[in-house]
Amino acid sequence: MALIRGWSAKVVKKAVFREPELGYEMNRVKMCNISPSGIVMLSETLADDDEIMRLDLRHNSLGPKEATILATGLATNTGIRVLNFQFNEFGDNGVEALVNGLTAENGHQNLVELNLNQNMIGDHGAEQLGALIRDTNLEWLHLRHNRIGAIGAQYIADGLTQSSTMHTLMLGLNDIKDEGATVLAEAIRDGSQIKTLDLGSNDITINGLEPICEVLKDNCVLKKLILRVNRIRDPGIEKLSEALIRNIHLTDLDLCGNIIRDESRQALKDLIGYNATLQHLNLEDNCLSNETGMQLLNMLDTNTGLQLTKMEIGMNHIEESTVERINLFLRTHKAEMAREKRKMKKSASKEAGNQRRSSGSKDRRRSKSGSHSKQGTKETNSRRRTSSHDNERRSSSKSDRHHSKHSHPSGGEHHHHSNHHHRPSSHGHHSDHHRSSSHGHHSDHRSSKERPE
């Protein structure tokens, strides 16, 4: 811990920090009410210390001048991953200076998150941020509560189409209107990998909602869509329901604070009754009656593929008992799904164990079979050697008989005795029969010649 003195005493905290979203271990610097001299010292430290991975300077009333000083230090710092400047006063000029520092040379490719909520950023600042999205590996960009209009939304959309890493864009409480919503939907259609999109409080009507419904119908990768506090009425809800009935990616939809009435009842019933992906639906602060609430409860029970576990429906014209019944149903459904998931996991684990045991048994049988094969090979070789030895003995006996015939032409008794003496006794009856049948005519001919006169 160090003490930085300027207009007032300042404290710099430096500690090991685990980023909750990324899971990275990182050092962070967090400061409150930092003075101008402290900003200079911090910039110098950032320039020399790549171990600082997270910088939190929210609520410091920093303006364009301070942003420019910090950008000088960040220009040579390649270790920074998370920057939090929310609730300051950077404005467009401060954002331009910051982006210039972050995109110096090859850009800060380690930077993954930038928070500029409530910094008086307009369309010119959005243009700089579009370049930052394009030129770095930024993943999270927080721009809520600024002054970005449809033109600024176009710059950001251009950057999104050229980014392969950006997945979260928070643009709530700006002024992009239907035109801005349309260009962002086109960016998603053209390949943007945005999964979380916040367009709350941007004065969006059905005209801006329709292009979004088109990309949802095409099963874009969008998982979370925030459309709270806009001017979405019943025809827009019908379009949205039609797009989401077969959507398999969107899990979180926020429609709080719009103008949804009972005329949307059937569209909401279709959405709840047939969608098998949505997990969280916010319908708070609309104009739905208790009858609509009861029918939505009934539809929850008819959806066999229901994944919804949370539906906020308060601040309507729905009785508290109906709201509680809906909440109870969803809590019970969530517990049942968790129990079924555990059961499936246990079953899969058991099946994997059976497969491992079966595989081990097969390996042991193959090993045992291989041992028998070796023994069989040894026995086969032994039989072959025995057969070869017997053939040699028969050949020797034949040679002796031939020699006896030529040496004693008139000594029949002597030749007969010699032949009997050399016949192998180990073959027994079967061996004699086999030899006799094998020699055939030649054996008979030899016997007639050798018979005494």
Q: How confident is the model at residue 350 (pLDDT cuts 50, 70, 90)?
A: confident
Residue 162 has pLDDT above 60, yes or no: yes
Tokens of 386: 């025995």
Which helix or strand (DSSP H or E) is residue 388 part of? helix 320-407
Residue 260, Cβ neighbours under 10 Å: how many?
24
- Percentage of residues in the chain having pLDDT higher than 90: 63
The topology (CATH level 3) of 2-257 is 3.80.10
Determine the Cα–Cα distance for residues 257 and 227; give it in Å rounded to an integer.
9
Exposure b/e, 71-106, CB count within 10 A at least 16 = b: bbbbbebebbbbbbbbbbbbbbbbbbbbbbbbbeee
- Report the predicted TM-score, pTM, of the whole model to 2 decimal places: 0.74
Residue 142 has pLDDT above 60, yes or no: yes
Residue-wise pLDDT for 305-341, tens only, equals: 999 999 999 999 999 999 999 999 999 999 999 999 9
Q: How confident is the model at residue 409 (pLDDT cuts 50, 70, 90)?
A: very low
Residue 371 has pLDDT above 70, yes or no: no
The predicted structure's pLDDT at residue 347: 85
Contact between residue 225 and residue 254 where contact means Cβ atoms under 8 Å apart: yes
111: nearest Cα among 158, 75, 146:
75
